[in-house]
A and B are shown apart, each in its own frame.
Chain A
Amino acid sequence: DAGVIQSPRHEVTEMGQEVTLRCKPISGHDYLFWYRQTMMRGLELLIYFNNNVPIDDSGMPEDRFSAKMPNASFSTLKIQPSEPRDSAVYFCASSFSAYNSPLHFGNGTRLTVT
């Protein structure tokens, strides 16, 4: 199993541009999570899906952020328009459960907004 696959690994963009982050979860995992990690705020859960349906998006910072999961093997996190304060490492993770099975994290996307 290749694990959770995220792309791109690094993204540098200018303020105001649209950014799309991509994730392929581990096959068979029903849950997919998007996390953001910064020095100041640590690991923050942005949104998670169960069977492709968004369950909890209370962590999404504002309307500029949106996430979709069109099928069991693909999810996107979009930021439009991007701002410098969005600079962070964004992790995708997948699991068999929301809270009592191990989370398998991807390598992350390091986003820099200038």
Chain B
Amino acid sequence: GQQVMQIPQYQHVQEGEDFTTYCNSSTTLSNIQWYKQRPGGHPVFLIQLVKSGEVKKQKRLTFQFGEAKKNSSLHITATQTTDVGTYFCAGPEVRVQGAQKLVFGQGTRLTINP
């Protein structure tokens, strides 16, 4: 089945440094979603990208969807301690038959040294 791979698995940065996580799919995605899970919390939806080459920004967060719609990235500028958590990408599983469903990447766990 389709896999959504995320790298890196872990990232530790100093507060104020930038952070990027990458998401790669083995197949073309109709859309991709990003979620954030704080330690001890539940995943919270951040954004959905649909168009090839799409770039969206949320304050210090920049989300990109690749031209081929097989990869995506999340970039955080000047990290703050509130950015700590695990970031997941998720994309639809492509099926010849049967219902589609969302497949989550393994997540990138971000820790920050204040």
Q: Which A residues fall within an 8 A CB radius of B?
A: 42-43, 45, 48, 50, 55-56, 91, 93, 98-108
Contact = CB atoms under 8 A, between A and B. Distances in A.
Nearest to A92: B42
B31 A108 contact: no
Interface in B68-103: 88, 90, 92-93, 98-103
Contact of B99 (A98, A100, A106): A98
Contacts, number: 55
Chain B at the A interface: mostly helix, strand, loop or mixed?
Answer: loop
Interface stretch (B11-19, B43-51, B53-61): B43-51
Contacts of A99: 30-31, 92-93, 100-102
Contacts of A98: 92, 99-102
B45 A106 contact: no
B62 to A, nearest CB: 19
Interface of B: 30-31, 33, 35, 41-45, 48, 50, 88, 90, 92-93, 98-104, 106-107
- With a 10 A CB-CB cut-off, give which of B90, B100, B102 has the most chain A CB atoms: B102
B44 A105 contact: yes
Contacts of A48: 101
B87 to A, nearest CB: 12
B63 to A, nearest CB: 14
A43 B104 contact: yes
Nearest to B30: A100
Nearest to B43: A105
